[in-house]
Amino acid sequence: MRHAGRARCHAGVVNVAAVSGLVAAVSALVAPSAAHTIAAPNAGHQVPAAAIFAAIAAAGVIGIVGATLLGRRAGRRSLEQRLTALSTRLSADTPGGEPAGIEQALGHLEQVTDRAAEAVASASSDAMRLRRALDTLPQGVIVCDENGDVVFRNPRAAGLMGGRHGDALAAQAVVDLLADAWTSGSAERTLDLYGPPRRTLVVRTQLIDDGRRTLGVIAVIDDISERRRLEEIRRDFVANVSHELKTPMGALGLLAETLVAEEDREVAQRLASRIQAEAFRVSRIIDDLLDLSRIEAEESPPREPVLVSLVMAEALERVRAAAEQRDVKIDLQEPSAPVAVLGDRRQLVSALYNLLDNGVKYSERGGTITFSATQSSAEVAICVVDQGTGIPSRDLERIFERFYRVDQGRSRETGGTGLGLSIVRHVAANHQGRAEVESREGEGSTFRLVLPVQPGVG
């Protein structure tokens, strides 16, 4: 602004200098005839010619200076109006009344500029905060502008745009649904990707607007694989429980109906024994279901140092009657030095009892089970080795599932519920350990419960 004012002042000086030059030139022209006079037409005296020319020159000078001053005033007013208009464009606030001058217009423009800078900084901070929040979401988020160009995708969404075949299918589905949202306003699709690993994705797209115009489209990608897996487990569990309870309950009803009409005392005694066995089987299923439910609910059970030799002895005592009934010998080999684990004694005893009970049921009469514990570095492995029928390799991966049985006929004969090894797996997980199995069909099986050792014991 100072440069513009300096330029206008310089122009005014130049104009005054030009007028002075013009006056000097006129004086030079009239100088030779300064002695002459001009007679007025109706006057009794004569007016000097120099005076007339001087008056004309003075009038010209006054006109030029006046025009210059008017031009400068109009320029200042135009500049004030332009500054005021710029301030109005930058802010909704307008200065009251007409601007008093360039200084007031410049002051208002500075205030408006400061507020605009603060608004830009605040908007930038909000945008960064929103971006970081979207980056932390477990869902994938993709945002397109009004031209259909992708302007944002969080890391979860970017992971779906990889080079694998399943990711390519997911990316194409997202592109298709984004296009559908432009026409229908929203779209949704469930994708089953068979992997590996198998995944289930739900893609939803929605048109974004501010009530007057379209701003773009957003796509949300939700991985519901774990939710779908849990739903399948729940359905399978309910179906298996229903099946497991239906079989003995049906047998109980049939036996009771037969017993009512039976007159032979010996036959009635056999029927009563069968009813007792089926009732015991139902009781075992219910007890195991309650144990499994309790263990699953106690993901972080109360922990205390527990001696491995004590839980081994307690589990052996619980299974002793079943082992004697089947004439199976259990060889207990306690650790040479005291070993303790940090955990829940009741859960650990339940896990070891189920391993021993499983070994007794699948061992031949007169067989031997080795029950031992060995420590290595920071872990202790409690092993149950039987000489039973073994497990086919195709069944090893599923042996710890609920209600899974290798031999359905043998399970009905032994009265197993199919929940024992599932209990073992959950107890191991609750104690940051693991359950392992090694077996060959016809050569027996080795089950291990591996647990971290509590330091400071021994």
Geometric angle at alpha carbon 399, from 397 and 405, rounded to 5°: 135
Domain boundaries, the chain: 2-104, 138-223, 231-297, 302-458
What's 303-337 look like in SS3?
CEEEEHHHHHHHHHHHHHHHHHHCCCEEEEECCCC
Asked whether 33 and 49 are in contact (CB, 8 A), the reply is yes
137: number of CA atoms within 13 Å, CB side? 18
pLDDT bucket at 253, cuts 50 / 70 / 90: confident
> What are the beta bridge partners of residue 152?
143
Quote the tokens at residue 54.
Answer: 């001087």
Residues 312, 380: Cα–Cα separation, whole Å: 13
Residues 116, 119: Cα–Cα separation, whole Å: 5
Question: CATH classification of 302-458, choosing from 3.20.20.70, 2.30.40.10, 3.30.565.10, 3.30.70.20?
Answer: 3.30.565.10
Q: Is the pLDDT of residue 53 over 60?
A: no
CB neighbours of residue 2 within 10 Å: 6
Quote the tokens at residue 426.
Answer: 């959950």
Q: What's the confidence (pLDDT) of residue 451?
A: 92
Quote the tokens at residue 288.
Answer: 């195991």
Q: What's the confidence (pLDDT) of residue 406?
A: 67
Amino acid at 136: T
Q: What's the confidence (pLDDT) of residue 16?
A: 43
Specify the CATH class of 138-223 in words.
alpha beta
Q: Is the pLDDT of residue 221 over 80?
A: yes
Specify the CATH class of 231-297 in words.
mainly alpha
Name the residue with tokens 């008056």: 55
Q: What's the confidence (pLDDT) of residue 37?
A: 43
Q: What does pLDDT average to over the chain?
A: 75
- For the entire predicted model, the pTM comes to 0.52
Q: Return the closest-CA partner of residue 281 out of 401, 378, 419.
A: 419
Q: What's the confidence (pLDDT) of residue 409?
A: 52
Q: What's the confidence (pLDDT) of residue 79?
A: 65
Residues 147, 182: Cα–Cα separation, whole Å: 11
Q: List pLDDT tens digits, range 102-129.
A: 666 666 667 767 777 777 777 777 778 8
Residues 307, 228: Cα–Cα separation, whole Å: 40
Q: List pLDDT tens digits, range 34-46.
A: 444 444 444 444 5
Least confident of 80-89, 183-192, 300-309, 399-408: 80-89
Determine how β-strand 140-144 pairs with β-strand 150-153: antiparallel
410 or 152: whose pLDDT is higher?
152
> What are the beta bridge partners of residue 305?
342
3-state helix, strand, coil in the chain (%, to 5): 55, 20, 25
Q: List pLDDT tens digits, range 161-204.
A: 654 555 677 778 888 888 888 888 888 988 888 767 788 888 89
Q: List pLDDT tens digits, range 333-369.
A: 888 788 888 888 888 998 999 899 888 888 888 888 9
Q: Where are the beta strands (DSSP E) in 50-165?
A: 140-144, 150-153
Q: Is the pLDDT of residue 449 over 70?
A: yes
Helices then strands (H, E): number in the chain?
11, 14
348: number of CA atoms within 13 Å, CB side? 29
Q: Is the pLDDT of residue 98 over 70?
A: no
Distance separating the N- and C-terminal Cα atoms of the chain: 90
Q: Is the pLDDT of residue 414 over 80?
A: no
Amino acid at 188: E
Residues 395, 439: Cα–Cα separation, whole Å: 10
Q: What's the confidence (pLDDT) of residue 209?
A: 86
